[in-house]
Chains A and B, each alone.
Chain A
Amino acid sequence: MKLTYVVQRYGPDIRGGAEKHCREFASRLAARGWDIEVLTTCATDYRTWADALLPGTSDDSGVRVTRFPVIAERDETSFDALSGQVLADPPRTPADVQERWMVEQGPQVPDLVEAVRSEVGSDLMVFITYLYYTSYFGLRAAGCRSVLHPTAHDEAPIYLSMYDEMFRRPRGFVFYTQEEQSFVRGRFDIAATPGLVAGIGIDPPLDYDPSRVRERVGGHDRYVLYLGRLDAAKGVEQLCSFFGRYRERRGDSLELLLAGEGATPLPDVPGVSLVGTLSEQEKWDALAGAEALIHPSYHESFAATLLEAWSVQTPAIVNGYCPITVGHCRRADGGVWYRSYAEFEACLDLVLADHELRGALGEQGRRYVDSFYRWDSIIDRYMEFLEGVRARR
């Protein structure tokens, strides 16, 4: 099978979830003997799409990667203003304005779209993320041999009518979660198109040692951990507020470690430590040493950090208004969820005080990841699905 991925950014240093997972799929399929190519941009920053990598073809873990220059960086001021207008009432925005919004959003890579059109040797072309120029114009150019990983959730842009036509093009869909599949099938008329809920694989670390992260970030005996982007959309400000109140009411020495980066300044709350971006090994060490992972986000496509926490048997406390994380917790029986400060306090009290409960939730989470989210079984199912799509073409 010859497969071509089309994705907005690609490389070992790209931190975005969709791009990271694209690279996982591509390199693992290449390792299984499939002929894998990636068409992508020279950009690394999703806000400006400024070229940062050299154009041309190179090899990345057995995958042939061809990069195309972005012809115009995103003008954030102009794009934000247009977004305000377009996303105020997505379904009623005129088609030409929607398309202008798509072009301004970028990344504008007409050469990549031409390369998709002229690529004739691939059995299938797999597009990652519904949102961007690369998928929108690329799917038009790909003809009847495309598969889309939408990586979608309930957000304003997906209600733009221009996506109706785009979602009719793929011959197959690959989803992160059952919730994503239900949402996309509710939004678009794609019931007859084959779909696979593949998920994302989590490879457990070979070893982890919580004491190492204590040396790295300071002497925290007992801590809960947040891992991810530090911005308001992820619920981090609310988490800081809840945690500050918890410390005040309980007089507890528990610490909250915030690991990640973000542009939003966070309030200075006693007991909350910003530890910056952790290396892969530090991440596993920190997860293993935490009393619990806290996942306060309201909107998620997949929530891989939840599965990573369960891989090292750490239970989770998640936002009760996020269907993706609550869905994982319900299916795994690996965590609890809250909808208010009082419930947050009760969840934390319970998980901290009941050692057996904490162990059971963590262990059940690990079994869930072992059953459904190990790369080997995911790649088996994924390959079988793609073979089926190719056969139906």
Chain B
Amino acid sequence: MARGRGLWLFMTMRENSRRPRVVAGEVVANIRDEVRSHYRAGRYPPEIASELEGLYGDGDAGPPFDAELAALREVQFSPEIEAASNKRVIAPLVAGTKRTIRGGLRWYTNALLEQFETFARRTITAVEVLGARLDALESRHAKATKELEASIHDEIGDARRKNRDALARSDDIAAALEDLRSAVERLERRLQRPNS
């Protein structure tokens, strides 16, 4: 399905690079868009589509989870806080002081940043775990819903068929009764005729 797509669709210029570069993350995003659209158009057989429930199901529920997660992963912490100042006249002095403080506290800010990064990484992991569990739940929910719908459909069909059979049988009984009634009437008529 991805056949024939041009390389240039996926190329972007990166800073400091003279040649266009293929960005793997964009290629993958493109692949996912295509799989999602095929999934929503119902082009996959059930066994493949069911695997995608968790990844692409309920697509209108908000921004794509993966994109948000990717954005979260891209967040960078840096100790290089802006040191410039807007104060008139004393701006160089203020900026210099800020830079000195920034440099002098580098050991401290670096240690804090490592803790932030650790916290962020574990948070992302927790979100990924939650996402995976939600995916699994959604998948199971979708599967159970389908099974329930199929089961109800079967039951209704069964009931209709049984009903049809019962109606057919009642029609047969009614017809037999009608035949019997006619036969009785004929017999009565014969009995009523004198010397017949």
Contact = CB atoms under 8 A, between A and B. Distances in A.
Interface of A: 182-183, 185-186, 191-192, 320, 329-330, 332-343, 345-347, 349-350, 353-354, 356-357, 360-361, 364
21 contacts: A186-B121, A191-B111, A329-B24, A330-B24, A333-B21, A336-B24, A336-B27, A336-B31, A338-B31, A339-B55, A340-B52, A340-B55, A342-B51, A343-B31, A349-B3, A350-B5, A353-B4, A353-B5, A357-B22, A361-B24, A364-B21
B95 to A, nearest CB: 29
A254 B111 CA distance: 51
Interface of B: 1-7, 10, 21-25, 27-28, 31-32, 34-35, 38-39, 44, 48, 51-52, 55, 111, 114-115, 117-118, 121-122
A388 to B, nearest CB: 16
Given A186-B118, A186-B122, A342 B39 contact: yes
Question: Helix, strand, loop or mixed for chain A's interface?
Answer: helix
Contacts of A350: 2-3, 5, 27, 31
Contacts of B122: 186
Contact of B27 (A192, A339, A345, A357): A357
Contacts of B55: 339-340
Contacts of B38: 342
Nearest to B20: A360
A338 B34 CA distance: 13
A183 B27 CA distance: 27
A343 B22 contact: no
A347 B31 contact: yes
A342 B55 CA distance: 11
Contacts of A346: 1-2, 31, 34-35
Given A186-B122, A330-B24, A350-B31, A341 B1 contact: no
Nearest to B26: A333
A185 B118 contact: yes
A186 B126 CA distance: 13
A150 to B, nearest CB: 16
Interface centre among B27, B34, B44, B52 (most CB of A within 10 A): B27
A64 B53 CA distance: 58
Contacts of A338: 31
A192 B2 CA distance: 49
A162 B77 CA distance: 32
Given A320-B28, A345-B1, A360-B22, 8 more contacts: A186-B118, A186-B122, A333-B24, A335-B24, A339-B55, A349-B1, A360-B21, A361-B22
